[in-house]
Amino acid sequence: MILLNLLRSIARAMLPHDIRVAIYRSLKRRKVGHHALTKHQRLLTQAKAHYVNWNLDAALSAVDLALVENPQSQKGMQMKAQVLLAMGRHGDAKDAANSLLSRYPVDKQGRKILAALGEPLPPASKEVAMSFALASRGRPMTYVQGAQYLYDAELFQDALDFVTVGLAALSNEADAKRKSVAALDLLKIRADSLEALHMFPEAMAVFEQLLHSRSSQSRGAAGMARCIFELGDPAKAENIIRAANSRANDQNPWSPLMLDILQAQDKIRDAYQFYRKKPVSLAIAEFFGMPSPSDIDLQSGAYRERSAFLLSEGGPGDELRLSSVYPDLRQHFGSLCISSDPRLTPIMQRTYPEIEFLPVGRYRAEVARDMSDRTEVGHSGIIQCVSNDAATFGRSAGFVASILDTLADVRPNRESFLSSPRRPLKPLPHLRDVWRDRAQAGSNGKPNIGIAWRSMLQSVARNRHYFEVEAFAPIFSMDAQFWITQPRLKEEERAYLSGFQNVSFAEDIDMVDDFEGQLAMMSALDLVIAPFTATGELAAAAGTPTILVAATRSPLWRRNEDGTDIFASNARIVAGQPVYDKAKAVEAAKTEMLRMIKHSSN
């Protein structure tokens, strides 16, 4: 024993911490090797491996066998519902998710799958969470799942109360490791809930507790950095994250939060180079046999004779915003093809005839869609943005990358945006004329204003950027004609808006899929007001005067000194003070709207 302790002391003195951890984990994997797993666990591991390779039939077969071994396995039921959803078997996925929730009513994955299918979710409540925990005899992780379930339902105060109950219940847990893991998870949910309630000092005090545990240090640092960033100190937020990663193998790992932090400090080139560390970017390079994204250098001129294929990511709002860089990108290649949402492809081709556009639907986890055009991709890391057609086309191209990975070379600083004015999207002339006549006829000389208040995709993370329709009441009370441009309008929202005499609905336009109709409509309006959604980005890209309303700090880097959007000089960005005060953000939008209307009438 003395000799063993001596060897441990020598190892601690001579080997860096990350190497000691790697050795420990390797030895632990050998100790608890494949032979130590149950048959059920081995089958689930196989199913996950097949899923990663997008071999969905094999994944389903493996998970079905795993469920034969353990029919009530929560992980197995989650996996089956997810595979069925990816296979496009939506009815079966719905049944699997409902079965999962009947056994585990607070299950996050089951609720996400139902939401993706557009199915109504069972109402969330503290009573359901408590019943689940008690039925499971108070196992520590049931309290974690219950608290997370309440947080995801945006019942933040209930989540705080449930965390308190869960932490008290842990006193009965004999297993020290399970107790510690559950306690840290519950503290993380407590901190997240306080942050969601904008109680930033209280949230930071809890995140600081997480910093003292090596296993939760990165979570604590990220939470601290988010709060500090939202309070307006991005430099301090950056220092916290860098300090937390200082002993890691990769001291600057990919993080969307760090991207926001760099942009907020006007470190635009650093932020855009950071994109090249995204897992999707690395997977695209691997799949198409391209060099590492970190080696991209468009300014070198090395690509001027090559055919290039750039892959769009994210939703239509991201594509609309980044279309402003297309003409500059074209100059760096012999020929250029860009993947495009099929709903936008005709618009992009009409506006940028010097570029080829390949229709490629992009997969979003929040929305179920037909995945039959992904059968030949075989790589779950790029399935969101690469279709069978894109895979075939990209294999014959001389250069393939995510469009995000090229931005550092064409938009390295604020000046590069200002010196490259965007080309407005071109609507179909006959549709635009129809809408001009329609708007003029219905407004009685009042300004015609389009308005939206949220994305069609909703979650606890996304909703912090958006608004409830009632928040816009001060704007609807103004002397103007309002046109609702909100996708997936809810019945309760429609009922509320019907109480205003100056509100009209464009019933003949599908606000989700008909971008030609939306573009024509917005081109005919005097002004559009929206948060940072596809609606707001489309209006800005159309060249229509636009007010983009911020409710968080992350998009504020886009605001120039004169208030205009860095991507579109016809758009202006407003926010409340503090930025998370949504009522004040609406007041700022109203003030800006009055100013813009007055300016246009002079």
Which residues, in sequence order, are CB contacts of 557 under 8 Å at separation 6+?
Answer: 260, 263, 264, 266, 566
Confidence at residue 20, expressed as pLDDT on a 0 to 100 scale: 46
Q: From the centroid of its chain, how far is CA 19?
A: 33
Say if CB 261 and CB 234 are below 8 A apart.
yes
d(CA 496, CA 473): 10
Above 60 in pLDDT, residue 21?
A: no
For residue 574, give both structure tokens. Answer: 């407003």
Find out whether the peptide bond into 578 is cis, omega within 30 degrees of 0: yes
d(CA 311, CA 308): 10
Mean residue pLDDT of the chain comes to: 92
Could you tell me which CATH class the domain 429-601 is placed in?
Answer: alpha beta
Could you tell me which CATH class the domain 274-418 is placed in?
Answer: alpha beta
Above 50 in pLDDT, residue 34?
A: no
| C-alpha torsion 416→419→425→429, nearest 10 | -170
Confidence at residue 9, expressed as pLDDT on a 0 to 100 scale: 52
Confidence at residue 30, expressed as pLDDT on a 0 to 100 scale: 45
Q: Could you write out the DSSP letters of every residue in 550-572?
A: ESSSGGGGGB-TTSBBSS-TTEE
pLDDT in tens, 484-505: 999 999 999 999 999 999 999 9
pLDDT in tens, 188-202: 999 999 999 999 999
| Strand-strand pairing, 481-484 and 448-451 | parallel
Within 13 Å and on the Cβ side, how many CA atoms surround 4? 1
Report, as an integer, the average pLDDT of 421-449.
92
**579: helix, strand or coil:** coil
Confidence at residue 35, expressed as pLDDT on a 0 to 100 scale: 52
Q: From the centroid of its chain, how far is CA 125?
A: 26
Confidence at residue 369, expressed as pLDDT on a 0 to 100 scale: 85
pLDDT in tens, 512-533: 999 999 999 999 999 999 999 9
